[in-house]
Amino acid sequence: MTNKIPDNFKDLLNKKAFADLATVMPDGTPQVTPVWFDSDGDQLRINSAKGRQKDRNMRARPAVALAIIDPDNPYRYMQLRGTVSEITEEAADSHIDELAQTYLGTDYHKHEDDETRVIYNIQITPVSTLG
Amino acid sequence: MTNKIPDNFKDLLNKKAFADLATVMPDGTPQVTPVWFDSDGDQLRINSAKGRQKDRNMRARPAVALAIIDPDNPYRYMQLRGTVSEITEEAADSHIDELAQTYLGTDYHKHEDDETRVIYNIQITPVSTLG
């Protein structure tokens, strides 16, 4: 267990791997959604839209968990837990375009007029890895 | 939203897809782990070992969530929520071998002498799908 992404798993940060993000509902039950993410090696950043269930969950209950599976080997993965340390709308539109460029090779085409994009910075707590 | 796996997503049950299983820790924070699963089309079954974190979590807090992503298309997935409706050790050793046969094409080689395998039946509550 470590509080950082181990060096020998940092390749997962550049592989278009999805993160399965778990948040907690108001009634204490879990919710899990696949999300895009990026990272500076320490914190992770994800991007959602204001008002969605995971947005509401992370604002009210900032503890999250993520599983990031190697797209080339499903038996190699990281299980992360973390805390949403910052929530910001600043640069969130350009951030979702950056993520779309990484994952899809295009800008994000699903922008909706009434959608407010949001960046969530996730501070990692323990990390365990397998494989 | 439906309480069953939609017919047009039932192919995911036969694709060696992993389920990312979210459970809730004693302190109310989430945990998420990739797991094998099988299904009769209504309930899902997973298999773990007694005493592991997710085993302890599901015994104490039976609400779970799962994301099941199409291994052939990461933009096609089901998000499930459910309740652990039954926990049993009966036939759990043969069940993990069945799962290993499905996913790996071999029996489960990681049996440990002091490990008690457990089956968890998960009753699905709402299902949403994308893709």
**B98, containing H or E segment:** helix B92-104
pTM to 2 decimals? 0.90
Using a CB–CB cutoff of 8 Å, tell me whether B64 touches chain A: yes
| Average pLDDT over every residue of A2-23 | 86
Query: Across residues A19-31, what is the average pLDDT?
Result: 96
| Interchain CB distance below 8 Å, B29 and A69 | no
The answer to whether the beta carbons of residues B54 and B23 sit under 8 Å apart is: yes
What letters, b where the CB count within 10 A reaches 16 and e where it falls short, cover B68-82? bbbeeeeebbbbbbb
User: B103 in helix, strand or coil?
Assistant: helix
pLDDT tens digits along A71-110: 889 889 988 999 999 999 999 999 999 999 999 998 887 7
Q: Is A77 touching B (CB cutoff 8 A)?
A: yes
Give the closest of B30, B71, B74 to A30, CB-based. B30
Tell me, yes or no, if A28 comes closer than 8 A to chain B by beta carbon: yes
Options 2.40.50.140, 2.30.110.10, 3.40.50.720, 1.10.760.10; CATH of A7-130: 2.30.110.10
Give the pLDDT of residue A4.
76
CA distance A23 to B69: 18
The span from the CA of A25 to the CA of A61, in Å, is 8
Instruction: Say if the Cβ atoms of A22 and B28 lie within 8 Å.
Output: no
pLDDT for B94: 94
Alpha-carbon distance values, B12 to A69, A85, A99, B48, B69 (Å): 18, 35, 26, 21, 8
